[in-house]
Every structure is written in C-alpha cells, then in structure tokens.
Structure 1
C-alpha cells in the first residue's frame, strides 16, 4: 500500500505541472482583456497579475518554456558528460584523465548563478542560449559522477577478463562499463533535472534569456512579488507548480529504483538461508544421537 501511495503522490505532483505545461497553451483562446493589477476575483479564478492579466491564463501559458528548457538542458548535459566521463575512467594514460577532467574543475570553481549571468551577458539571448548555458553548468557534476562510477566498474576482474579474451574497446566500454553504471545515472537524473529546473527558474527570475513580461512561471514569481500580500495567488500558483514538479520527479525516480532493486531480505532472516529451509538446530530438526564408530572394541 505504501508503495502505491508513493507512486500516486509522485504521479500527481509530476502530472499536474506537466499537463498544464503541455496542454495549457491549447486551452487559451486569446490574450484576454486586462483588468486592474492585483485584483482577487472579479471574474478571474486566481486574480490578476502586476499588469492586470489573468493569473490562471498566465499559468496555462507559462510552463512550457521552463519545462522544455530544463529537459533539453538535462538531456544535452548527459549526452556530453557520459562519454566524457567514461573516456576519462577507462583510459590507461594518466595524462588523458587529467586533460579531460581538469578543465571541468574551472567551471566548478565558479558559483553557478554568477557564471550563468556572465555567460548570458556575452551570448545572444533566447531559449537555445539558455539551454546551452544550463547544460554547461550541469556538465562538470555529471561527468565526475560518471567517471567515479566507471572507475569502480573498470577495476572489476570481469573487465580484465574481457581484455584477455581480446574483446574490443567498444565491447568493453559500451557493452559492459556503460551498461553497469545505468542505475547510478538513473539515480542522479532526477536530482540533475531538479537542478536544471532551478537554474532555468533562476535565470528567468533574473531576466536572463527571457523577456521581463513573458508568460513564464519563474517570471511570474519575480514580477508579482510586490503584490504578494494583496494577491498571493499570482506568486503562489507558479511557485507551487515548480516545487511540485521538482518533488514529483524525484519521488518517481526513487520509487522506480527501489522497485527495480527488488525486495530485501526478511527481517530476522540469516544471510544465505533459503526461504522455508529448516535450520540445523531448529525445533523441527533436532540432531539425533551420534553413531558409534564402526570397528570399535566391544
């Protein structure tokens, strides 16, 4: 019951923001008439925003950019980081490992928000630029995790046995090493998507890559802050959707990994004991009398 409850909570938290982000723009017929700023009610289910637009309409329109940019940035980061980290791990030359990993330390040394603002000022504005910047910021962390996992797999005797059998680089690297770290990457994927979502929301909050009056959940949180205590739904609705999406994705990934790992040993069961087997000293299998040695003198 608890397992299905977690699946249900994760599915609802993830599904509602996804549904609004994907289907929301199709449900909006037009721009709609503007009213007074920060009005609660007055024909608007969630009130109006800082320029008098309907908040519910802006919620329907504002999720696609945040979601699409975060997903594309996460996918792009993994497409680059996975071969990069595996190449550094399986290389037998120390200088190759240093050449591949040391430049990433320079990116890690700078705060992500500072680097985000610096890169956005010198790059052309737009969603493709934001995707590239967020992917670049996530690249060092993913690469280091891939390298650490691949190093552990590469030191196994099975890898040396494959080399002795004459297997090629592709068979060892992709067929064994890459397949062995899939669970590690799956466990990291939910966290990375949440981090990408946070960076995209922060960029939109700072006005990087997104117009200041755009229909965007993060922009809504920023621009409607002055009316938080007058018309709170203009801030709470997009903020809660971003939080729900982040929490829901991680719940689903955690539940999926726990399901694939299979049930653990029963409480109190001894390691290695098969289910239903009687122990040697159990009540149903008492040891009998020891037989006398044959050939003994009467």
Structure 2
C-alpha cells in the first residue's frame, strides 16, 4: 500500500510538472507568430482561441510562464541568501547594538505591506525584470530574517552551544556547524510557503503592470488584459490562472512531502539523526578537530 507521503509527493510532482515544463520548454516549441485574428475568438485554427489583441492564446501561454517562474525563483533565492546571514548575525551576536542595527530597520519595512512597497518603488522608477526581482526580494527579507533570527536564537541558547564556546570553537564554526544545521527543517518549510507568496506577489505585480510591459507574454498579464472577455473567450484567462495555481499548489505539496519524509526518517531536534543522538556533530577545520560534543539538552547526559 502506498504511503500517504509518497502519494502526496507524486501528486505534487504531477501538478507542478505541467507549469514548469511549459515555462522552461514552452518558448522552444512556440514557433513563429502567425497573423493576428479578431480579438476574443474561438477556433479558426487557434487551439485556445485568441486574446484581447488577436494573438494566439496557446502561443502566449507557451511564452508566458518563463518570466513568472524565473522571477519568483530568483526573488526567493535572493531573499533567503540575504535573510540567512542577517538573522544568524542578529541571533549570535553578543552586542545588543549590533542586533538593534540589523533588526530594527527590518521591522520598519515589515510594517509596510509588500505590494504597497513595490507600488511605491514603482512610482519612483520603472523596474524591469531585474528590478522586480530586487523589489520582491526586498519585500520578503524582513519576514525571512526575523524567522531565521527567532529559530537561531532558540538553538543558540542551548547548553550545547555554550559547551562549544568553552571548547574554543569559533563563532563561524558554531553558526555553520550547529546553529545553521538546526535551522534546516525550519528553512525548508519556510522556502515552500515563501515561494508560494513570492509567486503571488510577482503575479500581482505583473497584473498591475509593474516590471512587465502591458502586452507582454506573461501569465499574470494575460489574466489581467483578457479578463474583459472572460465570458466570450474564457481560455485566455482560465488557462494561465490555472497554471499559476498549479505551480503554487504543487510546490507546497512537494515541500510538505519532503518534510514529512525527513520526519519519518527520524530527524530530531536540530536536524541530527541516527546514532548521534545527544551529540552535536562538528566538521573538522582550522578551529580544531572534528568530532562530537555532548548535547546537554538530552535528558541524562553529563558534562
């Protein structure tokens, strides 16, 4: 009998494969644009009809996924790459002023809704695709950094970290060898939900015309520009909207299944498994020999 986690993974992979394949390989098979027909028509040699300016909807679908997917992936990766060191530094520093310097400006940005921040920036200049990536990433850094700081602060307060300090380990080795590893499950769960939020934000920004041309081949732009003909030619709106929904839903299912699988393999607190229960594993390096340090949070261990 198939395990529920396996079924969820297969379902998520199946759902997300369709928009991903269309986004990555669609432009290769789109071919040359044909002559334009009347707007919002069905049939007449067009598989999904025509859009608001008479372009073939199927060809627009093949071209429209890559901007959404690449922008969302790049913005999510950039936000995580910035938030991780900022959150770790805020949690591990012993200087209160440094923590305040890092976290308080992020609190100010966190008070501003993400979409409003993007719209305010768009009034100052017209961002292209790269500018949209920077804006979406900047809107996600405050929340991601606070999450990393909270999780890292909990790990840094464990007696095992103090034992590592007494052993003479550097802060870098403590951050990377223990605290950073303890964040893996938290970060994996956050990336899944954050990617969904970023996709929504990118699609909404494109829907409002921020970072893309008004007539660009983009799934979100297609939903916006063709909505006036929804009841005449629904495929121009329904197909790109369903592809965006499939991308977000499938991504969440994949991350949920991966986390459940990791939990089923015995991933314990801090991400340590197997025969190293109650020990912190450190890599060998210039700070000292590798090995294990007793995890004093385990019941019954002795220093």
Cα distance in structure 1, aligned partners of 2:49 and 2:174 = 59
Cα distance in structure 2, aligned partners of 1:9 and 1:92 = 46
Aligned to 1:4: 6
Aligned to 1:66: 68
Output aligned runs, 1:254-269, within 5 Å.
254-262=256-264
- Structure 1 contact 123–129 (Cα < 8 Å) conserved: no
Cα distance in structure 1, aligned partners of 2:156 and 2:5 = 34
- Structure 2 contact 114–140 (Cα < 8 Å) conserved: no
How does the TM-score come out when normalised to structure 2? 0.85
Output aligned runs, 1:109-188, within 5 Å.
109-188=111-190
Aligned to 1:197: 199
Cα distance in structure 2, aligned partners of 1:108 and 1:168 = 32
Output aligned runs, 1:1-298, within 5 Å.
1=2, 2-262=4-264
1:259-294 Cα offsets, whole Å, 9 max, x none, are 011168xxxxxxxxxxxxxxxxxxxxxxxxxxxxxx
1:197-256 Cα offsets, whole Å, 9 max, x none, are 111101110001100000000000000000001111100000000000000000000000
Structure whose alpha-carbon radius of gyration is higher: 1
| Counterpart secondary structure, 2:238 | helix
Superposition deviation, residue 4 in structure 1: 2.6
1:113-166 Cα offsets, whole Å, 9 max, x none, are 111111122234211100000000000110011000000100011100000001
- Structure 1 contact 63–217 (Cα < 8 Å) conserved: yes
- Structure 1 contact 88–147 (Cα < 8 Å) conserved: yes
| Deviates further, 255-264 or 223-232 | 255-264
Cα distance in structure 1, aligned partners of 2:71 and 2:256 = 23
Superposition deviation, residue 5 in structure 1: 2.0
Superposition deviation, residue 90 in structure 1: 0.5
Cα distance in structure 2, aligned partners of 1:234 and 1:124 = 27
Cα distance in structure 1, aligned partners of 2:139 and 2:44 = 44
Aligned residue-pair number: 264
Cα distance in structure 2, aligned partners of 1:142 and 1:4 = 29
Structure 1 ranges of 4+ moved more than 3 A: none
Cα distance in structure 2, aligned partners of 1:212 and 1:68 = 19
| Counterpart secondary structure, 1:9 | helix
Point out where structure 1 has 5 or more consecutive residues left out of the alignment.
265-298
| Counterpart secondary structure, 2:46 | coil
Point out where structure 2 has 5 or more consecutive residues left out of the alignment.
267-303
Cα distance in structure 1, aligned partners of 2:34 and 2:190 = 42
